[in-house]
A and B are shown apart, each in its own frame.
Chain A
Amino acid sequence: MAQPEQLLYSKEHEWVRIEGDHAVVGITEYAQHSLGDIVYVELPKVGTHVRQFTNIGVVESVKAVSDLFTPISGEVVQINDALETDPAAVNRDPYGDGWFLRLKLADTSEQKNLLNARDYEKLVAE
C-alpha cells in the first residue's frame, strides 16, 4: 500500500504533516480500514498540551472503541469540528477531510521517532 511521501508516520498508524512550527495529525488509510465504519471521534480540547505517543482521545467504529495516540508533542491549536457531525470523513478521506487536529510543535527533534513513508509501508506490509 503506497503512503503519501510528504507525511511522517507512527507505529500506531497516525500520520503527521509538518507545516512550519505546526503539525497536522490524522490516522492512516490502513488504520481507517482496520477500524471499519467510524461513528464517533473524541478529541482533546483546544489549548490542551499533549505528549508524544500518549493517549489523547478515542476513535469508535460501529462495534469497537479504540484509543487515539498523538504521534508528536504540542499544544492543540485547532480540532477538526466537522468530524463531530461527519465522522465518516475519516473513512472517506483519512489524509484530507478526515484530519483530526493541529498542534503547535513543542519539540521538533521528536520527528526522528517517526517513520518515513517507505518505512511505514514496510510496517503495514508485515
Chain B
Amino acid sequence: MNQTARRTALYDEHRKLGGRMVEFGGFEMPVQYAGVLKEHDAVRKRAGLFDLSHMGQFRLSGERVAEWADTLTTNAVATMKPLQARYNLFCNERGGTHDDTIFYRLADDRWLLVVNASNAEKMWSIVSGHPGGVHAENRHGEDALVAIQGPMSVAMLQPHVDVDLASMRYYFCEQTEVEGIPAVIARTGYTGEDGFELFVDGAYASNVWNALLRAHARDGLEPCGLGARDVLRLEAGMPLYGHELTEEITPLQGGQAWAVKLSKPQFIGREALAEQTQRDEHPRIAGILMSGRAPAREGYAVFLAERRVGEIRSGSFAPSVDGGANIATALLERDAATVGTALVVEIRGARHDAHVVPLPFYKRSR
C-alpha cells in the first residue's frame, strides 16, 4: 500500500466489514467486501451502500458563480435552478477533458462542485486559478460522501430523513438532515439505478453509514466497493475519467455531446469542440459486446477485418447484460463505430468476435 495514501472518515468501518483495501485516487478505498458479483446484484435488485469520500468536493459561493462556471465548462450552468444538479465537463483548449463533474446549486449563490478523486488536485488548481470574484473552498478529504443506490433506496433511506424522497426529482437535491446530521441529499448516482448521494461532514460519516447498515442489512443492503461500482457504471454506459474521457479524449469523443453546449458564446475548448462537431471525423467511444466468454480488457487492439481501428478503453464481465456477457467500450475510428459493425478484438494473440452495440448496455425499468 502506498505510504502516502489517505484514508476516508469511513476507513475503520471498511476494515470492520472485511473490505479489501486498494489505493485509488490517492485514498485507501475498499475494492470489495463480500464480492463484486454479490454487491452488484444487491444494487440491481435491492440497494448498495458506497463510500465515495475520496471524490473531490469544492464549495463555491458568490453572485457570479454561474457566469464564471459557464466560461470554464461545456454544459449550461446559469440555467440551473436552486437545488438542481447537472453533469458538466471542464476541457482544455484542444477540447480534451480535464474532468467530468457534477454541479449542485444549493442556493442562488452557493454551489457544490464534485470532481473525480484522481483529478482533485488538478481541478483545484483550475478552479482556484480562475478567481473571477468566486469564493472557492476545497473540502476534499474533509467532507464525506455516502451513496445508497438501488431500487430500494427510497424505502431504506426514507426513515432516516424528513424530506419526502419519493417526490424528489432525479438530479435535484435538498439541504436537510440524515439522522439529525446536516446533509445535502441528491438524487444522483453512478450505477444506472435509482439512488441518493449524501454529503455530510466527515466527522459524522460513520453515524450515517452505520445507521443505514444497522437498519437495512437484514433487508439486503450491502456495502459495495469500487469493483462493483465500476461494473455498474460500465453497464449503465457512464464514462470513467482516465478511460472514456482523458486530456486527449474530448466529451464529443467520449459520448457526452449532450453535455456540450456550443450555443454558449464562449468557454475553454469551445473552438476545438465546434470544429470537431463540424468535421465529424473523430474517433469515438462505442459499446462493444463480445461474442465469446473471454473478457476484453483496457488496451486490447480492435480490428475491422484486417485494419486496426482502435482499442478497448474499459472492459468487464457484465451480469446484467443478456444474462451475463462480456462488454467493453472502445475508442474507434468513425466508420467502425456504427451500431452493428462486426469487429475482432485481439486477446493474447487470438482473434475474438465482437460487435458494436448501442450505449447504455443496461437500462433499468422505470
A40 proximal to B (CB < 8 A): yes
Query: Is B231 a contact partner of A62 (Cβ separation < 8 A)?
Result: yes
Query: Is A62 a contact partner of B293 (Cβ separation < 8 A)?
Result: no
Q: Which chain A positions have C-beta within 8 A of B134?
A: none
A105 proximal to B (CB < 8 A): no
Given contacts A36-B36, A42-B294, contact A62 B348 (CB under 8 A): no
A60 proximal to B (CB < 8 A): yes
Query: Is B36 a contact partner of A61 (Cβ separation < 8 A)?
Result: yes
The B28-64 residues at the A interface (CB cut-off 8 A) are 31-32, 35-38
Q: Which chain A positions have C-beta within 8 A of B37?
A: 37, 62
Q: Which chain B positions have C-beta within 8 A of A60?
A: 295, 317
Query: Closest A-chain residue to B37, C-beta based?
Result: A37
B227 proximal to A (CB < 8 A): yes
Q: Which chain B positions have C-beta within 8 A of A40?
A: 293-295, 317
* Closest beta carbon of chain B to A85's beta carbon, Å: 8
Query: Closest B-chain residue to A65, C-beta based?
Result: B297
Q: How distant is the Cα of A61 from the Cα of B317 in the complex, in angstroms?
A: 9
A101 proximal to B (CB < 8 A): no
Query: Is A62 a contact partner of B294 (Cβ separation < 8 A)?
Result: no
B230 proximal to A (CB < 8 A): yes
Query: Is B295 a contact partner of A37 (Cβ separation < 8 A)?
Result: no
Q: Which chain A positions have C-beta within 8 A of B246?
A: none
A122 proximal to B (CB < 8 A): no
Q: How distant is the Cα of A40 from the Cα of B38 in the complex, in angstroms?
A: 17
Q: Which chain A positions have C-beta within 8 A of B297?
A: 65
* Closest beta carbon of chain B to A58's beta carbon, Å: 7
Interface centre among B294, B317, B348 (most CB of A within 10 A): B317
Q: Which chain A positions have C-beta within 8 A of B31?
A: 63
B316 proximal to A (CB < 8 A): yes
A84 proximal to B (CB < 8 A): yes
A8 proximal to B (CB < 8 A): no
Q: How distant is the Cα of A60 from the Cα of B292 in the complex, in angstroms?
A: 14
Query: Closest B-chain residue to A83, C-beta based?
Result: B293
Q: Which chain A positions have C-beta within 8 A of B36?
A: 36-37, 61-63
The A54-83 residues at the B interface (CB cut-off 8 A) are 58, 60-63, 65
Give the size of the chain A interface in residues (CB under 8 angstroms): 13
* Closest beta carbon of chain B to A7's beta carbon, Å: 25
Give the size of the chain B interface in residues (CB under 8 angstroms): 16
* Closest beta carbon of chain A to B222's beta carbon, Å: 14
A39 proximal to B (CB < 8 A): yes
Q: How distant is the Cα of A40 from the Cα of B37 in the complex, in angstroms?
A: 14
Contact with A along B204-244 (1 / 0, CB 8 A): 00000000000000000000000100110000000000000
Q: Which chain A positions have C-beta within 8 A of B293?
A: 40, 84-85
Contact with A along B271-312 (1 / 0, CB 8 A): 000000000000000000000011101000000000000000
Query: Is B348 a contact partner of A58 (Cβ separation < 8 A)?
Result: yes
Interface centre among A37, A40, A61, A84 (most CB of B within 10 A): A37
Query: Is B295 a contact partner of A36 (Cβ separation < 8 A)?
Result: no
Query: Closest B-chain residue to A88, C-beta based?
Result: B37
Q: Which chain B positions have C-beta within 8 A of A62?
A: 36-37, 227, 231, 316-317
Query: Is A36 a contact partner of B348 (Cβ separation < 8 A)?
Result: no
Query: Is A63 a contact partner of B227 (Cβ separation < 8 A)?
Result: yes
Q: Which chain A positions have C-beta within 8 A of B348?
A: 42, 58
Q: Which chain B positions have C-beta within 8 A of A85?
A: 293
Q: How distant is the Cα of A37 from the Cα of B38 in the complex, in angstroms?
A: 9
Query: Closest A-chain residue to B324, C-beta based?
Result: A39
Q: How distant is the Cα of A63 from the Cα of B31 in the complex, in angstroms?
A: 10
Q: Which chain A positions have C-beta within 8 A of B294?
A: 40, 42
Which B residues contact A (CB, under 8 angstroms)? 31-32, 35-38, 227, 230-231, 293-295, 297, 316-317, 348
Task: Give 10 closest A-B pairs by Cβ, nearest first.
Answer: A39-B317, A62-B36, A37-B37, A63-B227, A62-B317, A37-B36, A37-B35, A60-B295, A40-B295, A40-B293
29 residue pairs from A and B, CB less than 8 Å apart = A36-B32, A36-B35, A36-B36, A36-B227, A37-B35, A37-B36, A39-B295, A39-B317, A40-B293, A40-B294, A40-B295, A40-B317, A42-B294, A42-B348, A60-B295, A60-B317, A61-B36, A62-B36, A62-B37, A62-B227, A62-B231, A62-B316, A62-B317, A63-B227, A63-B230, A63-B316, A65-B297, A84-B293, A85-B293
Known contacts A39-B317, A58-B348, A61-B36, then 19 further A-B pairs from the complex at CB < 8 Å, ordered by chain A residue = A36-B32, A36-B35, A37-B36, A37-B37, A40-B293, A40-B295, A40-B317, A42-B294, A60-B317, A62-B37, A62-B317, A63-B31, A63-B36, A63-B227, A63-B230, A63-B316, A65-B297, A84-B293, A85-B293
